[in-house]
Amino acid sequence: MKPVSELLAKRPSAIYQVGPDVMVFDALQSLADHGVGALLVMDGERLVGIFSERDYTRKVALQGRNSRDTLVSAIMTPNVVAVSPKTGTRDCMALMRQHRFRHLPVVDGARVLGMISIRDIMDDIIADHELTIAQLQSYITS
């Protein structure tokens, strides 16, 4: 499997983020605007958490909170597990499975490079399998 830096290179370089002092409603609007399921929570240049649809449903909707009156910092997932750009996609998948999350920030030291999702990992696995199948078919027919 390849390093996650190769997955990031195939995507737009935008890093979708929100500040910890933003209202949850506005963060939800940002999720919808960008068509993503999670945002990095950044305090300046520092990664302080992740805000996801799952955070909203479990910590706002199910607890009867109001998204217009709740700060992202109150419901975000803190203590984020992150990987380096050299981490292999198979290792990322293992981390996601072990910790039961679907989004994984990629950092180089303290610098945030982006975020990958379980969909990115699955797309990569499928592409690898399709390539292997095509090579085997070519080998068999030659």
**Highest mean pLDDT range out of 103-107, 122-126, 136-140?**
103-107
What is the model's pLDDT at position 41? 98
pLDDT per residue as tens digits for the range 100-118: 999 999 999 989 999 999 9
What is the model's pLDDT at position 142? 82
What is the model's pLDDT at position 98? 95
Q: Is 118 exposed, middle or buried (0-12, 13-18, 19+ CB in 10 A)?
A: middle
CB neighbourhood size of 56 (10 A): 21
Distance of CA 110 to the CA centre of its chain: 17
- 20-33: average pLDDT: 97
CB neighbourhood size of 38 (10 A): 23
What is the model's pLDDT at position 138? 87
Provide the token pair at 131: 């390539």
**Phi-psi sector, 112: left (phi>0), alpha (psi -120 to 50), beta:** beta
What is the model's pLDDT at position 11? 78
C-alpha span between 42 and 40 (Å, rounded): 6
pLDDT per residue as tens digits for the range 27-82: 999 999 999 999 999 999 999 999 999 999 999 988 889 999 999 999 999 999 99
* Helix, strand, or coil (residue 81): coil
With a cut of 80, say whether residue 1 has pLDDT above it: no
What is the model's pLDDT at position 96? 95
Q: Are strands 38-43 and 17-18 parallel, antiparallel or unpaired?
A: parallel
Tell me the pTM: 0.86
